[in-house]
Amino acid sequence: MKSLRAALLLLGVFTASSPLAATGAETTAPAGAVVATFAGGCFWCMEPPFDRLDGVLSTTSGYIGGHTRNPTYQEVVAGASGHAEAVQITYDPRRIDYAELLDVFWRNIDPLTANRQFCDAGNQYRAAIFYHDEEQKRLAEASRQKLAASQRFKQPIVTEIVAADTFYPAEDYHQDYYRKNPVRYKFYRYGCGRDKRLEELWGSSG
């Protein structure tokens, strides 16, 4: 079943006439900055909660975890590239730490569903934490264990924690989509049932 965004694309809703190709390079971070990478379904929807945080310097939508080099959006949404849609966050560790980012990540995903987030199905929409060093791995695993031990959910947590490999920034028209196209973004987000499900999982405060 095609995702809501794919259906909108076929209907010609997107305005980009010449999308830029993914570059295959990690985003350049200022001196002292640190990078974190999370997948939580639609990358449009994962940028806003991190952009709001003091200490986050930038967010970049892209693709990671697959076998296709320099993937395009069309290749990723087709599901054969192995890549997940993800957001890479550059942050100042003096103002915000990785544990805080993890907390925001969990409350913006459905940790109980494998190879799907909300209305979007397929391994390209899997939820995952892509760690960049052993400390991130330790903190990620500890946060998942803490959530499981809280007994908040009856079902098991299936969110992956895996080593980060090459991150491919998505085409330019995907970056900051919620700012560039607020009406279409809200239509997609509401139609996908994201906020309704998040409230069921986490409560109205997120």
Tokens of 114: 């494998």
85 to each of 29, 69, 72, 89, 202, how far by Cα in Å?
Answer: 20, 14, 11, 13, 22
- Dmax (CA) for the chain in angstroms is 48
Q: List the catalytic residue out of 42, 45, 119, 192.
A: 42
Angle between helix 43-51 and helix 182-191 axes, rounded to 10 deg: 110
* Neighbouring-strand partners of residue 121: 116
59 to each of 2, 22, 46, 79, 92, how far by Cα in Å?
Answer: 26, 15, 9, 23, 12
- How far, rounded to the nearest angstrom, does the alpha carbon of residue 173 sit from its chain's CA centroid? 16
- Please give the Cα distance from 177 to 61 (Å, whole number): 9
Known active-site residue 42: yes
Q: Return the closest-CA partner of residue 104 out of 50, 62, 156, 144.
A: 50
Beta strand segments in the chain, E = 34-40, 56-64, 84-91, 116-117, 120-121, 127-131, 160-163, 168-169
Catalytic residue positions? 42
